[in-house]
A and B are shown apart, each in its own frame.
Chain A
């Protein structure tokens, strides 16, 4: 059984919701990413989304754009991200790691090589923002062949036909983008999420995580009540930006513990 499925199965038995933090690999520095990953797990994260920085992050707001720029300035590359996951796995064999980013760095490496490397280092899922199902044939084939879950996005604008298409292809969990906008946007609309989820559940049998715009304990709790997992990105990346190298692991842990407490009230 995959780490992602095992994690969600266990949470379901415990009647808890998943907390899924996102950080950009290589931010604030190459050395601090793996310690941050362990810090996130200790603070209560169930699944880690590790951002692969890209020069043109079209779906991201200013906070994650800046993180990507910092990471690239430090020389972060897809190869480097895979090496970080390998290092993380030497001390953590159970927490699922999902790589999240844009398709071009993977295209440049080649999907076959990438999928093989993912399996070797212990990546569990891959989410490419700009590769919708209709352009994911290659990606899907190679990821499947190496037992890596392709994670797909659904959005407020997604219609029934597309939900069914994603239901067929998706593995692991499905990521529902809570709002029309970029990461870190401020226009979260809880009632809109509540209305959309039954339409998703009709076809999607996998766990559904919700992300974009979740910025504090209150919004995390409110969203957790509606779905199976809460993804928090920009708020954590902002905390990283606002911290020093000395304080960053502690500050991020504190924030994630607060989010954990909130999510566990759901």
Chain B
């Protein structure tokens, strides 16, 4: 109980220790202040909570099951691997949990226009979906490079009635899509709700997105004892901005016997410099997209282009709470390279009949790496954050196949 009182972040100004905060242009400060006020007003409101729970159950299809990946575990001969099946959610990833929560808030704030950034397209699809569900106008910003990589998701968003705006500036990926969404928000600040897709950005987003995603860890904490009579020895999740990871991790922070492992995108390897792993690579602290976090940058403070096989992890920063958990030593962060993620993708397809998202494949790859070093009575819970349908083209191309 005592430690519970000790871990209580963010503080009232949105800081997680030295991280987080509200680094935004003045025009948007009143908007994020309003968002904080409204969120705090509804977060414990019984009616809001009931509506959120209803949508998660009847629209998203929660609770998502925990699945024992028996054949994969047997093949590795070590710890048992369990999967939290966020891939079975409506729209195919954890992103919908947060999109629903924010859309319900937007509805209460009277905003009829929503915008979003997207990398892999899963958050864009989730936002387009809830916008259709609640009758809102929806604009999604997506890097031109990602539009190429994730063509199927672009089509899905359009089917759902969203406008997809290609972003040609900078590295033409997720960070540039964020820049463009922020430019839209500053221009249409009064009419528009920015449904931000990960546990980063200016306060209150890191806290709010975490809260909406915590349904993952809260369910797992009930499901694991039902399945194996206890909590797992470790919880493992991939980290882009960090929303699926914090959703699983947060409810486990006080469970000191549960190890917490975040898996970043190692790209071509940390040493190559072509990666998206700020925590593992010991990147310097910096400020981007409204928060102070560990950030991949050059010595002059310019943001460096990142690389990952998975568009959803291809981002130079990471949410502020992960930065704090790293510094506190409560969570450990590691990197998995492109080829290791691909091998894990194949393994899950062949051993379990589950096609994972390339993002989630990073978390699976780490479990595959450490399971053989552990005894058979140990249990690893991996967040299977999304399904791999969107990645068919990428994987086929890498295998030299044209679809």
Given A104-B286, A157-B189, A182-B186, CB of A132 within 8 Å of CB of B26:
yes
Q: How far is it, in angstroms, between the C-alpha of A109 and the C-alpha of B287 when the chains are bound? A: 13
Q: How far is it, in angstroms, between the C-alpha of A65 and the C-alpha of B176 when the chains are bound? A: 12
| Interface: B270 (CB within 8 A) | no
| Interface: A198 (CB within 8 A) | no
Q: How far is it, in angstroms, between the C-alpha of A109 and the C-alpha of B297 when the chains are bound? A: 12
Q: How far is it, in angstroms, between the C-alpha of A26 and the C-alpha of B281 when the chains are bound? A: 31
**Contact assessment for B295 and A104 in the assembled complex, using a CB-CB cutoff below 8 Å:** yes
**Contact assessment for A162 and B30 in the assembled complex, using a CB-CB cutoff below 8 Å:** yes
Given A55-B302, A105-B302, CB of A177 within 8 Å of CB of B26:
yes
**Contact assessment for B186 and A180 in the assembled complex, using a CB-CB cutoff below 8 Å:** yes
Nearest residue, chain B, Cβ from A109: B301
| Interface: A181 (CB within 8 A) | yes
| Interface: A242 (CB within 8 A) | no
- B175, B178, B182, most chain A CB atoms within 10 A: B182
**Contact assessment for A79 and B31 in the assembled complex, using a CB-CB cutoff below 8 Å:** no
Q: Which residues of A contact B302 (CB under 8 A)?
A: 54-55, 72, 77, 104-105
**Contact assessment for A154 and B26 in the assembled complex, using a CB-CB cutoff below 8 Å:** yes
| Interface: B226 (CB within 8 A) | no
| Interface: A58 (CB within 8 A) | yes
The range of chain B's interface size is 35 or more
**Contact assessment for A132 and B24 in the assembled complex, using a CB-CB cutoff below 8 Å:** yes
**Contact assessment for A56 and B25 in the assembled complex, using a CB-CB cutoff below 8 Å:** no
Chain B, 217-250, CB within 8 A of any chain A CB = none
Nearest residue, chain A, Cβ from B25: A59
| Interface: B148 (CB within 8 A) | no
**Contact assessment for B301 and A78 in the assembled complex, using a CB-CB cutoff below 8 Å:** yes
B313 to chain A, nearest CB (A): 18
**Contact assessment for A130 and B169 in the assembled complex, using a CB-CB cutoff below 8 Å:** no
**Contact assessment for A177 and B27 in the assembled complex, using a CB-CB cutoff below 8 Å:** yes
Given A104-B286, A132-B29, A155-B27, CB of A55 within 8 Å of CB of B22:
no
- B13, B31, B179, B188, most chain A CB atoms within 10 A: B179
| Interface: B23 (CB within 8 A) | yes
- B26, B189, B300, most chain A CB atoms within 10 A: B26
**Contact assessment for B186 and A59 in the assembled complex, using a CB-CB cutoff below 8 Å:** yes
Contact of A105 among B170, B186, B188, B301 (CB under 8 A): B301
Given A104-B295, A157-B30, CB of A55 within 8 Å of CB of B24:
no
Main secondary structure of the interface of B (DSSP, over half): mixed
| Interface: A195 (CB within 8 A) | no
Nearest residue, chain A, Cβ from B28: A157
| Interface: B285 (CB within 8 A) | yes
**Contact assessment for A182 and B183 in the assembled complex, using a CB-CB cutoff below 8 Å:** yes
Q: Which residues of A contact B23 (CB under 8 A)?
A: 103, 130-132, 135
Q: Which residues of B contact A185 (CB under 8 A)?
A: 187
Q: How far is it, in angstroms, between the C-alpha of A69 and the C-alpha of B188 when the chains are bound? A: 25
| Interface: B158 (CB within 8 A) | no
Given A58-B179, A108-B300, CB of A180 within 8 Å of CB of B187:
yes
**Contact assessment for B22 and A134 in the assembled complex, using a CB-CB cutoff below 8 Å:** yes
Chain B, 119-147, CB within 8 A of any chain A CB = none
Q: How far is it, in angstroms, between the C-alpha of A180 and the C-alpha of B284 when the chains are bound? A: 33
| Interface: B299 (CB within 8 A) | yes
Q: Which residues of A contact B303 (CB under 8 A)?
A: 55-56, 104
| Interface: A107 (CB within 8 A) | yes
A105 to chain B, nearest CB (A): 4
| Interface: A35 (CB within 8 A) | no
Mask for A66-82, Cβ within 8 A of B = 1, else 0? 00010010000111000
| Interface: A19 (CB within 8 A) | no
A–B complex contacts, Cβ < 8 Å, 20 sampled: A56-B179, A57-B179, A78-B300, A104-B287, A105-B301, A105-B302, A107-B286, A108-B297, A108-B301, A129-B25, A130-B24, A130-B287, A132-B24, A134-B21, A135-B22, A154-B26, A155-B30, A157-B29, A182-B183, A182-B186
Known: A103-B287, A130-B287, A177-B26; 16 extra A-B contacts, CB below 8 A, are A57-B179, A58-B183, A78-B301, A104-B288, A104-B302, A107-B285, A131-B23, A132-B29, A135-B23, A158-B29, A162-B29, A180-B186, A180-B187, A180-B188, A180-B190, A182-B186
